[in-house]
Amino acid sequence: MATPAPRGRRVPWLHPAAKPVLFVAALLPFAWLLYGAIANQIGPNPQEYIIRATGDWTLRFLCLTLAVTPVRTVLHQPALARFRRMLGLFTYFYVCVHLMSYAWFDQGLEFDAIAKDIAKRPFILVGFAAFLLLTPLAATSVNRAIRALGAARWQALHRLVYVIAGLGILHFFWMRAGKNNFAEVFVYAGILAVLLGWRVWHRFGGPRVVREPAARRA
């Protein structure tokens, strides 16, 4: 097992260019999907592929966002918190693309049909609920909103991520239930359970996590 970086030591991913590199890397899945759709390289049913792929990337970015705090704590690198906001906003970006792909490709942007489908199919209902809960988290990610809410209320609001993660996994589980294919569901559920369990342990019983002021997390 790798030895954690000494406290305060500058590590490569804290280079000033790290954030632009991360931004470009986070856009690559979207760029590949766009290219694949235009070049007809994502299979015989590109619409379904895009809907499923953007849902997968939403879960992946949610896992990455939740992994920032454990990683920065283990490596003794509080400055890693600067990447969490960007990763969280990319989670919201991909869930928006996921929802728009469903609304456009699956429902033809017929809003009456979309509303009926949400009410009729539980897996779409919980997915839409997760999107609604994620929206205020994305909206309050700017420094002005953090200052307006205050650190305590902002942190309380952002604990909705626990509910969002559960709804996301339930959405994925019900979506895969029709094909009785749960392998990926269990992988994501296991990762999120470890990450959220770590946060609960540190909140109630583990060593205290050193936090940067919320308004300084760029």
The tens digit of pLDDT for each residue in 150-206 reads 988 998 999 899 999 999 999 999 988 877 888 999 999 999 999 888 888 887 765
Q: The tokens 């109630």 sit on which residue?
A: 204
Two tokens, residue 21 = 């590199």
56-65, 66-75, 99-108: the lowest-pLDDT one:
66-75
pLDDT value for 30? 97
140, 149 contact by CB (below 8 A): yes
Quick one: 111 exposed, middle or buried, by C-beta within 10 A (0-12, 13-18, 19+)? exposed
Q: Is the pLDDT of residue 9 over 50?
A: yes
Average pLDDT, the chain: 87
User: What's the CA gap between 65 and 10, in Å, rounded?
Assistant: 21
What's the average model confidence in pLDDT over 89-100?
97
pTM comes to 0.85
User: What's the CA gap between 84 and 112, in Å, rounded?
Assistant: 36
